[in-house]
Structure 1
Amino acid sequence: MIISRLIAGLLLLILFGCSTEKVDNQLEISMRFNQKIVSCSSELSLGDKVWRIGQVQFFIANVEAQDAKGRWQTILLKSMATQSSTLALVGQNCAEKDKANWQLTFEPDVKLSQFQRLRFQLGVPFELNHLNPLTQTSPLNVSSMFWVWQTGHKFARIEMQSASDNWIFHLGSTGCLSPSVMRAPSEPCRYPNLYSFELALDNHDQLVFDLAKLLDKVELGQQAHCQSEHDNPNCRRLFNNLSHVSGQSVFRMATSE
């Protein structure tokens, strides 16, 4: 009996230790709308219509963390199907329910509890953005997240539908100069459309993507599509929301529900 209890206790200790390590090098991500977690099955009341999400996917790149002494360091992601060491594809295409990814998994030696702040980019850095997707490893080989060599990847792809309408927002670099659309530019695009975010961890364990903040004062519908055109007023509103001009960030930290 004593030996059995000892074995049981050791097993619990091992399981607890593994669980703690796994949690501490993973950052869960949730999509919320007006404080509520939403998914492909959610119905969102916007204006005079009810909308459903068709696709929400975006790239997170160059994650850095700040320790208690104020020092910043790059923290590497674990290379796997949805992420490389410096970049991850987050979100879901609702038509592919088995391919959702709502977390960042870092290398095993990363301990998020040791850091006080986190910062990252929304988008694909220039040095990776215009490479041939046919020869890239995942997640840079996802065809639905790529335009052409000249403009590169869609940093975010958000598509929604109502009973009688639809709306899309494809974020990416524009003003990219090259001899043809099938050639990569040699210099950064005029409008990179990369957005940086810095958040206090404060013992929170979940990164929130706030869809309501992104869509604040944004018109939805076929006539309001945004393909990152610089002179498109609908795009400018979305760019303002991503730039925190409204005073509220599209990303924030929260505690898991």
Structure 2
Amino acid sequence: MRAFTRFTAVVAGLVAVGGAQAAGKADGGERQQVAIRFALAAGDQPVECGRDIAGLGTGGQPAQLHDARFYIAAPALIDAAGHEVPIELEQNDWQYANLALLDFENKTGKCVGSADVNDTIKGSAPRGRYKGFSFVIGVPSVVQDKDGKDVILNHSNFATAPAPLDLQSMTWNWQAGRKFIKIEVDPDGGVTRPPPPAKNPALAANGAGEKTDGPPPMADAPKTAPLRVNSDGTITVSTWMLHLGSTGCRGDATKGEITSCANPNRVPVKLASFDPARQRVVLDLKPLFAGIDLGKDQGFSTGCMSGPADPECTPMFENLGLRLKETAPDANDAGQSSGASTKIFRAEVTK
């Protein structure tokens, strides 16, 4: 990642940070350091690159991790009265404004990416006693600096953005913005898809030529997709992909316009009981892939890339606690929380 020093002047004035500082002053100015660890698991199994993961999805076939990264925003501690107190994050290559990137791939085994990993967010909060922790999976569209000027986060050019927003692998394009969460697994035997409608099976492996109503279907396609053409015309590819991000986005970010999205697809997470001194936050792949057969894909993108018409996104969004589609015409609630708590995060005593 690139150094973030040229952005520190902007960071210092962000409202999200300023709000946390104000909270500290209200408490006499005393603050306490906060470090919250995250981990990956599949039930009671730890998940890491190069290690088999047993029993994922309805097929239950073993799999290996291919990629695992996600952004969290607005981390806060919950006090005894139930109030959310913002954590003021340190500013470094993993954290910018009120945003942090958690990264569990290390380029070993079947994992892609780089050797750099990050499993901890660090910052401070007003000194006090807290009972819980909350955050949002996603990247905010806009924050404001000290002068009230908009600073675009989600729909920004990765080539000029500060770390950790500078990763091309975590973007779709300027209009679609960032991939909020990217979880990819390679199930044993691969993922079998329907016969491709496109002439080139390598393109069809990632859903090219199919209308998804989501981000560009080829944004994630490798130049040469690893696949096998089967005797019945189906194809088998190696990787099942969850890429969650906003969809139905409008506005030209290249011209400095604020982009709005019909389906924001940000996931609120609240752990009502959490002690950062004793516990860590676990992303559990078993409930994440509940109701999904990782060995078969019904079409569109391989896996779920947030397309409302993608069959695999129906159970995935339910597991995430999001509405995939509107509950009624003109309800405008697609991509919003369903009201049910997300099933994929839990608190666990640190081992």
Name the SS for the 1:64 alignment partner: strand
2:45 pairs with 1:36: yes
* Structural mapping, 1:168-187, within 5 Å: 168-178=241-251, 186-187=258-259
Counterpart Cα distance in 2 of 1:226 and 1:72: 32
Structure 2 residue aligned with 1:199? 271
Describe the shift of the 1:148–1:221 C-alpha distance in structure 2 as closer, same or farther (beyond 3 A): farther
Hey, what's the Cα distance between the residues in 2 that align with 1:248 and 1:63? 16
TM-superposition CA deviations, 1:193-243 (whole Å, max 9, x none): 001011123434211111111111112147342111012121121111010
Q: CA deviation at 1:73?
A: 1.8
Asked whether the 8 Å contact 2:321–2:342 carries over to 1, the reply is no
Question: Does 2:308 correspond to 1:214?
Answer: no
Q: 1:157 aligns with which of 182, 187, 197?
A: 182
What is the aligned counterpart of 1:75 among 84, 87, 105?
A: 87
| TM-score, with length taken from structure 1 | 0.81
How much has 1:67 moved relative to structure 2? Answer: 1.6
CA distance in 2 between counterparts of 1:35 and 1:184 reads: 46
The answer to which of 200-209 and 98-107 deviates more is: 200-209
Once the two structures are TM-superposed, the CA of residue 251 in structure 1 deviates from its matched residue by 0.9
Given that 1:150 and 1:183 are in contact with CA atoms closer than 8 Å, whether structure 2 keeps it comes out as no
Partner of 1:121: 136
Match of 1:65, SS?
strand
Alignment of 1:1-257 (within 5 A): 25-45=34-54, 46=56, 47=59, 49-93=61-105, 94-96=111-113, 98-107=115-124, 114-127=129-142, 128-165=153-190, 166-178=239-251, 186-203=258-275, 204-221=278-295, 223=297, 224-243=302-321, 249-257=343-351
1:126 Cα deviation from its structure 2 partner: 1.7
Secondary structure (helix, strand or coil) at the match of 2:159 reads: helix
Q: Which has the higher helix share?
A: 1
Deviation, 1:57, is: 0.4
Instruction: Please give the TM-score of this superposition, normalised by the length of structure 2.
Output: 0.60
- SS of residue paired to 1:175: strand
User: Aligned partners of 2:295, 2:80: CA distance in 1, in Å?
Assistant: 46
Task: Give distance in 1, aligned partners of 2:156 and 2:288.
Answer: 29
- Number of corresponding residues: 232
Structure 1: state its 5+ residue gaps: 1-22
Whole-angstrom CA distance in 2 between matches of 1:31 and 1:110 = 29
Change in CA separation of 1:55 and 1:110 when aligned onto 2, cut-off 3 Å? farther
Q: Classify 1:187/1:134 alpha carbon distance in 2 versus 1 (closer, same or farther; 3 Å).
A: closer
Backbone CA RMSD of aligned residues: 2.5
Is 88-97 or 145-154 further displaced after alignment? 88-97
**Residue 247 of structure 1: CA displacement?**
6.4
- When residues 43 and 185 of structure 1 are mapped into structure 2, their CA distance, relative to the original with a 3 A threshold, is farther
Mapped partners of 2:68, 2:256: distance in 1: 26
CA distance in 1 between partners of 2:60 and 2:38 (Å) = 29
Provide the rounded CA distance (Å) in 2 between the counterparts of 1:28 and 1:132: 29
**Retained in 1: the 8 A contact 2:251–2:260?**
no
Structure 2 contact 75–98 (Cα < 8 Å) conserved: yes
Change (3 A) 1:33 1:163: closer
Deviation (angstroms), 1:35: 1.7
CA distance in 2, matches of 1:190, 1:69: 34
C-alpha distance in 2 between matches for 1:184 and 1:35: 46
**Residues 110-145 of structure 1 deviation map (CA, whole Å, 9 limit, x = unaligned):** 66x721121110011122210222221110111100
